[in-house]
Structure 1
Amino acid sequence: MNQDSIQAIVKEVVERLSTQAESGNTTVPMAISARHCHLSKEDVEALFGKGYELTIRSELSQPGQFAANETISIAGPRGSIEKVRILGPARSMTQVEVSQTDSIRLGPKVPLRISGDIAGSAPITIIGPKGSLYKKEGCIVARAHIHMTPKDARAFNVRDGEWVRVTVEGERPVTFEKIMIRVSDRYKLEMHIDTDEANTGLIFPGQEGIIKKYGENHD
């Protein structure tokens, strides 16, 4: 690809973003996250054997992320859930994400948290084919959030860490409050909700929500 072609593509992208901002387009595609687990490399080996590496079942929408072929079971004081999908690649810390409905089944009070905020969260036992782990913390109900790139953030006039509300119109209209914006060059524009939230609004993957900044009049 020559320099003129590259410049033409860059110009087209910039114009598209400018048009989006000027037109007030604030829609974001929805993605629905079922219960899943992120594992540290150390915990992958504890559950599957020394030197074990996760294998790719399917690529996820967020760049570089994948659903692994491997699954684990999770257990709480009241019950357990089998075949919980592991998402890769391995991370620096282990985190189990469940819905509120799942937490009732497991037993402990699982806090609502932004992904990554596991300090003081619920304990969980993770069971694999070669071993099991008891984690004193690490189980959360993930708070709904929006992934976007810095260019998206400029187009939508939002910043990393900002709270917004998102309205989804359809057969069962619903507005989600306190949705955090998460900005990174590694992200793709997408709002993540769990299965409970999707069921509340009869939301399907790819359906769009409307971002509304707090303090703005959208009536």
Structure 2
Amino acid sequence: MKKVHIGVSARHIHLSRAHIEILFGQGYVLHEFKALSQPGQFAAEEVVSVQGSKGRMDKIRILGPARSETQLEISRTDSFALGLNPPLRQSGDIVGTPGIKIIGPAGEVELQQGVIVAARHIHFHSSDAEAWGIVDQQMLKVKLNGERPLILENVLARVSDQFALDLHIDTDEANAAGVKTDEYAEIID
């Protein structure tokens, strides 16, 4: 059986260095709140607010370290509340996506693009992928064994020596199956 740890990804934002400085002040450095499953990644103590055409969401957790481009990842349910229609995309694929206003304690950024619903995916360390015969960008089928079991199709395999084995789904997917972070799913195809 190919069991994989589940990581439920709530709404969050990745900020560029330039946007960190606009939102928090010149030379500002994010403070680590807790380490994430992927090596070198962390949830920051800092949070921001975002404002869409229909609504505002506060306390959006920043994930660090800084990225080359700012990106907001939300669930489909969040998109309705904000008045947006972001596409389902792989993290980092933000060309042609909607923008949003980001509000921090020291300033605001009017993002022209960068809002996505993140495609469900599994991070594989290269050795795990090789052992299971899985290649980068392969689409997989995964069973969530919660109180309302679900089969997820089109789960993207992302393979790198920099990754740790972890399934990333959003809160809508986790709630639909009744699963939580630190439970396990099974790759079935």
Normalised-by-shorter TM-score class? over 0.9
Higher share of residues assigned strand: 2
Distance in 1 (CA, whole Å) between partners of 2:132 and 2:5 is 14
Distance in 2 (CA, whole Å) between partners of 1:46 and 1:169 is 43
Distance in 1 (CA, whole Å) between partners of 2:12 and 2:63 is 7
Q: Which runs of no fewer than 5 residues in structure 1 stay unpaired?
A: 1-24, 214-219
Partner of 2:12: 36
* Letter matched to residue 75 of structure 2: S
> Greater shift after overlay, 164-173 or 81-90?
164-173
Q: CA RMSD in A?
A: 0.9
Partner of 2:21: 45
Q: For residues 75-133 of structure 1, what are the alpha-carbon distances to aligned partners after superposition, in whole Å with 9 as ceiling and x for unaligned?
A: 11110100100000101110000111110000011111111110111111111011111
Distance in 2 (CA, whole Å) between partners of 1:144 and 1:129 is 32
1:138 to 114, 118, 127: 114
> Are 1:107 and 2:121 counterparts?
no
Runs of 4+ in 1 over 6 A off after TM superposition: none
Distance in 2 (CA, whole Å) between partners of 1:27 and 1:57 is 28
Q: Counterpart of 2:18 in 1: which secondary structure?
A: helix
> Are 1:189 and 2:165 counterparts?
yes
Partner of 1:164: 140
Distance in 2 (CA, whole Å) between partners of 1:58 and 1:168 is 26
2:178 to 185, 194, 202: 202
Q: Which runs of no fewer than 5 residues in structure 2 stay unpaired?
A: none
Quote how far apart the aligned CAs of 1:210 are. Answer: 1.4
* Letter matched to residue 83 of structure 1: K
Partner of 2:123: 147
Q: How does 1:62-141 map to 2 (within 5 A)?
A: 62-141=38-117
Query: Quick one: percent identity of the two aligned structures?
Result: 48
Distance in 1 (CA, whole Å) between partners of 2:16 and 2:101 is 15
Distance in 1 (CA, whole Å) between partners of 2:153 and 2:98 is 24
* Letter matched to residue 84 of structure 1: I
Quote how far apart the aligned CAs of 1:155 are. Answer: 1.3
TM normalised by structure 2 equals 0.97
Distance in 2 (CA, whole Å) between partners of 1:108 and 1:205 is 27
Q: For residues 54-77 of structure 1, what are the alpha-carbon distances to aligned partners after superposition, in whole Å with 9 as ceiling and x for unaligned?
A: 111111121111111110001111
Q: For residues 17-68 of structure 1, what are the alpha-carbon distances to aligned partners after superposition, in whole Å with 9 as ceiling and x for unaligned?
A: xxxxxxxx31111110110000010110011111111111111121111111
* Letter matched to residue 160 of structure 1: D
Partner of 2:33: 57
Higher share of residues assigned helix: 1
Distance in 1 (CA, whole Å) between partners of 2:44 and 2:146 is 33
Name the count of aligned residue pairs. 189
Q: Quick check: which has more Rg, 1 or 2?
A: 1
Distance in 2 (CA, whole Å) between partners of 1:168 and 1:155 is 22
Of the two structures, which has the highest relative contact order with CA contacts closer than 8 Å and spacing of 6 or more?
2
